[in-house]
């Protein structure tokens, strides 16, 4: 059985075929905050680069990612910080 991080990576990889995907669990930094769980897996920081973001405004990129991960948000994912870029924005 996959944990939340593995599920998120799998979904993002399948949907966006990224050239870079880094997902960091920042849950420990949010201990005691709203939505935080002692077990972690509630707060993440995502960096993703994909050709699928070419011509897509930043807000649309974020909306596409949030929509894809809707099931995770409904089941305990509380916060996701996103840095989503097209390849020529890398760096």
| pLDDT higher than 90, residue 16 | yes
Rounded mean pLDDT, 14-38? 77
Exposure b/e, 59-73, CB count within 10 A at least 16 = b: eebbebbeeebeebe
Print the domain residue range for 35.
Answer: 4-89
Instruction: Provide the CATH number for the domain around residue 49.
Output: 3.30.300.90
pLDDT at res. 85? 97
Q: Which residue has the higher pLDDT, 59 or 2?
A: 59
The 10s digit of each residue's pLDDT in 30-89 is 455 555 555 667 889 999 999 999 999 999 999 999 999 999 999 989 889 999 999 998
Classify residue 91 by burial, with Cβ atoms within 10 Å: 0-12, 13-18, 19+.
exposed
Query: Number of folded domains in the chain?
Result: 1
Q: What is the pTM of this model?
A: 0.85
């Amino acid at each position: 059985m996959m944990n939340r991080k593995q599920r998120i990576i799998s979904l993002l990889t399948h949907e966006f075929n990224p050239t870079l995907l880094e997902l960091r669990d920042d849950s420990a930094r949010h201990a005691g905050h709203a939505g935080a769980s002692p077990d972690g897996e509630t707060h993440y920081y995502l960096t993703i680069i994909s050709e699928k973001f070419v011509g897509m405004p930043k807000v649309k990129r974020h909306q596409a990612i949030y929509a894809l991960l809707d099931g995770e948000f409904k089941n305990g994912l509380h916060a996701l910080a996103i840095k989503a870029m097209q390849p020529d924005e890398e760096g």
